[in-house]
Amino acid sequence: MALPWRARLRGGWIGFLSVALVLFLLGCRYRLVIVDGASMHPTLESGDLLAVDRLAYSAEGPREGDLVVAWVTGEQVVKRIVGLPGMMIEVRDGVLVIDGSPRQPGQGLTPGTLNIRAGMIGPGRFAILGDNRIGGTDQTAHALVMRSQIVGKVVGRLACGRWVQGWFPGLVEASTTGTHEPAPGTGVR
């Protein structure tokens, strides 16, 4: 027996509203960004589409090694968290040194020529750094960011970002190319 037209119409609206609600809730939690630059190579390539979970750090804070999108000097950047509050951090010839112990290139890290003087990371701050350290500071952005500057954690990657951006030009690009150095003579704070 066929449903009366009113019942079918009501069922269609309920389905439409359910899908719209799910998309809205996903949009509140996740953000799509496109990588622009080479400082995260080989982990990320320019043009990759990233899914960023904006609520990933609601329950617990960022961890060393997380890939994040953060606001730095007015632009969004994609970087790896390499230092947490209270850590002593430096970079010698592209090798990350934390609390006096060199970290072996891993997690996609590329050794290079970047040097950053040693310094203690202050409370509520996180050190972020690009994985590609071959080109020195020209291609490797580094910064100290407050928790409030971190947009979210990268939870997914697709290598079709430029194609998607052609269809959805409003997607945000997250740069990996800027240089964000500490003030001269201050090292890392």
- Annotated active-site positions, please? 39, 79
Handedness of CA 124, 130, 135, 141 (dihedral sign): negative
Q: Are 79 and 70 in contact (CB under 8 A)?
A: yes
Burial readout 152-180 (b: 16 or more C-beta within 10 A, e: otherwise): bbbeeeeeebeeebeeeeebebbbbbbeb
d(CA 110, CA 88): 21
